[in-house]
């Protein structure tokens, strides 16, 4: 139930977490499986049955979290599941660090992209996520995703059917990064693009080893980030309640 409202709906999103990740974020909140590899191996057949089980339990969609490095097996699982009546939307929940080749394989398979835009500067992605080329790869991926699925489409009950949602996590001391990310979206995508501006950053995993991000964001920082949405006329999406 913890995803954006059109993804969680009233009965929840059928989330499947995959061990490991294509990035190495030093502040990852899911580091136990994304960085430390918690999890267990499954066959494509077992994974397809898990998807069908989530559908039968009433979930509105199948939500694949950090799936990119298992793409061949996931595609095989989806084929098996769809042959056995899987007919709910497929959500691709990604850091946005995706190759064009991978996205070409997903064209017509994925209904909803739930994708991060984390950085506007490769120096930041190198320091905090061990990625030397995140910005160019991410921007290309986001534009490709939008080209495949377009803007977010909701059904009559407000649940997501198809489209792109961009997530941006506000980081401490890095409001200029947030502004440049939002400005890029405003300049290169329609202004009705749905953005989820996230406030839940806390310094987990190795974050406390870097003084710049060794604290939660402040109320002032998040309010300033929210103001940037208005500045760039980005009025579709979600902000989070201030609990700090």
According to the model, what pLDDT value does residue 22 have? 94
The pLDDT tens digits of the residues spanning 90-118 come to: 999 999 999 999 999 999 999 999 999 99
Q: Compute how many other C-beta atoms are within 10 angstroms of the C-beta atom of residue 237.
A: 18
CA angle 7, 11, 12 (to 5 degrees): 45
Q: What is the mean pLDDT of residues 10-26?
A: 97
Which tens digit of pLDDT belongs to each residue from 69-91? 999 999 999 999 999 999 999 99
74-92-242-244 Cα dihedral, nearest 10 degrees? 40
pTM: 0.97
Q: How does the average pLDDT of the chain come out, rounded?
A: 97
Q: Which of 106, 16, 11, 94 is nearest to 52 (CA)?
A: 16
Strand 153-154 versus strand 14-17 pairing type: unpaired
Which residue stretches of the chain are H helix?
A: 5-8, 31-34, 44-56, 71-83, 100-106, 122-129, 134-149, 175-188, 219-231
The model's confidence at residue 242, banded by pLDDT at 50, 70 and 90, is confident
In the chain, the domains with their CATH numbers are: 5-239 (3.20.20.70)
């Amino acid at each position: 139930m913890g995803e954006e409202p059109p993804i969680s709906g009233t009965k929840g999103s059928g989330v499947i977490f995959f061990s490991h990740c294509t990035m190495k974020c030093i502040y990852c909140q899911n580091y136990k499986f994304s960085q430390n590899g918690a999890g267990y191996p499954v066959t494509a057949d077992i994974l397809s049955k898990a998807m069908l089980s989530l559908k039968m339990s009433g979930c509105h969609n199948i939500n694949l979290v950090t799936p990119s490095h298992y793409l061949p097996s996931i595609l095989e699982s989806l084929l098996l599941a769809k042959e056995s009546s899987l007919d709910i939307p497929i959500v691709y929940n990604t850091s946005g660090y995706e190759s064009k080749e991978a996205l070409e394989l997903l064209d017509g398979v994925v209904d909803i992209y739930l994708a991060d835009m984390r950085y506007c500067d490769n120096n930041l992605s190198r320091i905090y996520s061990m990625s030397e080329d995140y910005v160019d790869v991410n921007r290309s991926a986001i534009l490709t995703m939008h080209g495949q699925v377009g803007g977010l489409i909701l059904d009559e009950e407000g649940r997501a059917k198809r489209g792109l949602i961009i997530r941006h996590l506000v980081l401490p001391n890095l409001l200029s990064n947030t502004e440049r990310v939002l400005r890029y979206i405003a300049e290169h995508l329609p202004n009705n693009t749905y953005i989820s501006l996230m406030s839940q950053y806390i310094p987990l995993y190795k974050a406390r080893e870097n003084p710049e991000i060794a604290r939660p964001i402040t109320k002032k920082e998040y309010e300033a980030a929210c103001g940037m949405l208005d500045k760039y006329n980005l009025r579709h999406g979600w902000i989070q309640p201030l609990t700090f």
